[in-house]
Amino acid sequence: MPYKWPADTDFALWELDVIDRVCPACGRMMYICDHRYRRLHTLDGPVQLVCKLNHCPDRLCAGHARTKSPELEVTIAPPSWAIGWDVFCWIGHRRCSRHMSIPHIQSELQDDYAIKLSDDAIAKYIRRYQVMLAARQQDPEALRRQYESVSEIILSIDGLQPEKGHETLYVVRELTQKRVWFAEALISATAHEVQRLIAKAKDWATSLNKTVSLWISDKQDAFVTGIAAEFPDVPHRYCDNHFLRDLAKPVLEADSHAKVQMRRKVRGLRKIEQALLKQQNADVSTSLTDDPEATVTVLVGPANGPSLEADSANSVVLEYCAAVRGILNDDQGGPLHPPGLRMAEALKEVHESIQRNLDTKKGDSRKSTLAVWAGALTRDWNTSEPSKSPSESTSRTFTRWPQPLSLEGGDARIAKRSSKG
Ligand SMILES: [Zn+2]
């Protein structure tokens, strides 16, 4: 892979010598016969390697025709690579552990290390990384070393379908060392095929001479029968994650249904906002043209500065609209923090806040913008409560909702101003 270096690249110069200079054929001291120049990327910057090549000075010796490279060279980078091991491991780790896409890896390399690699070069390095990783994972000696100090092992099996309609990838993992033992894609996951995988896990455990103390799975039929057949005396437990997920399913369904119901009741935000904005524009043109005909009826207020009061009230209503929209769009949270429950709770807060505003306005016969629009906002909401009553003890996690206090404070100021007028 020829790599094009920019002309102004600043290379660090690393000179490498052969350390063991004894000719392997005749035992004479070898001489430097040539130099190999290499340029490569490291995480510390571009490097120029100067590798001093040695050979035996005796023309008749077999060691004369073969040159020896410095021992250190392959520990810096494999032959003819444009990157060192450190960059290679960095790429492989980002891909395999962090699941970063190739364009993402490419831009991070460029931004953080000023290393410019093409996407196909990165893809090629990733393939090599995967091959090395697989070889290491399958190395029986490395496996034996890892399990030397372990007395009992816990195995799990699960099938996952990376893409719908494709074959299922079955993975057998060992949980005490958090290690994937092996994975196989099965086109037809018959009970017989699955049992073959479980028998393979048994072979691994036997070769390691370890006792399997527990099996964990989602307990699909093929796993239950296969494990019972191959490991008759080993307990087989439900995986926590699957257990919780199965348990949570009806909860999430009910929660999602409640959300739909609430969204159906609280609607028309856009209409309210559009009307308010239209009215504000009308106000501006009114003050410019001073045309009494253009005054909007709901804006009847004290003679000194009706626009000011209306504007403040309008902005309060717009803030309410924004808050309610935020509440309706908040979909975060799993079965342990159902979003529907939070939505019901937040809507109730809005409802109460608006009610407090309306109560403050009581006795004031003048129609205010807030009262009109707040009525519109809560129109349907007042008629029924959410199907799930919000629990007071549930912790509040909703943050986009503006503090009711500040809204009421703003409204109180408006009220004060009106009474002066
Ligand atoms: Zn020799």
- Model confidence band, residue 187 (pLDDT cutoffs 50, 70, 90): confident
61, 23 contact by CB (below 8 A): yes
Mean pLDDT in residue range 23-48: 95
User: Does residue 197 carry a pLDDT above 90?
Assistant: yes
Count of Cβ atoms closer than 10 Å to residue 265 Cβ: 15
Mean pLDDT in residue range 199-224: 93
Sheet holding 45-55, edge to edge: 12-16, 45-55, 31-42
Interatomic CA distance for residues 172 and 158, integer angstroms: 7
Question: What is the reported pLDDT for 409?
Answer: 39
Distance 269 CA to ligand 1 centre (A): 90
Domain ranges of the chain: 12-76, 85-137, 146-238, 258-420
69, 36 contact by CB (below 8 A): yes
47 vs 271, residue with greater confidence: 47
Where are the strands (E) in 138-209, listed by range? 152-160, 168-174, 179-186
Sequence-ordered list of residues with C-beta below 8 angstroms from that of 302, at least 6 positions apart, any chain: 309, 417, 418, 420, 421
Is the domain spanning 146-238 CATH 3.30.420.10? The answer is yes
Q: What are the pLDDT digits (tens) for 283-313? A: 666 555 544 444 333 443 344 445 666 677 8
Tokens encoding 330: 């908040």
Distance 415 CA to ligand 1 centre (A): 103
Range with lowest mean pLDDT among 86-100, 107-121, 217-231, 266-280: 266-280
Distance 77 CA to ligand 1 centre (A): 28
Distance 411 CA to ligand 1 centre (A): 97
Tokens encoding 213: 């103390």
Distance 55 CA to ligand 1 centre (A): 8
Nearest one of 247, 246, 259 to 390, comparing CA atoms? 259
Which of 27-41, 137-151, 156-170 has maximum average pLDDT?
27-41
Mean pLDDT in residue range 100-105: 96
Distance 63 CA to ligand 1 centre (A): 4
Distance 33 CA to ligand 1 centre (A): 13
Distance 121 CA to ligand 1 centre (A): 40
Interatomic CA distance for residues 131 and 125, integer angstroms: 10
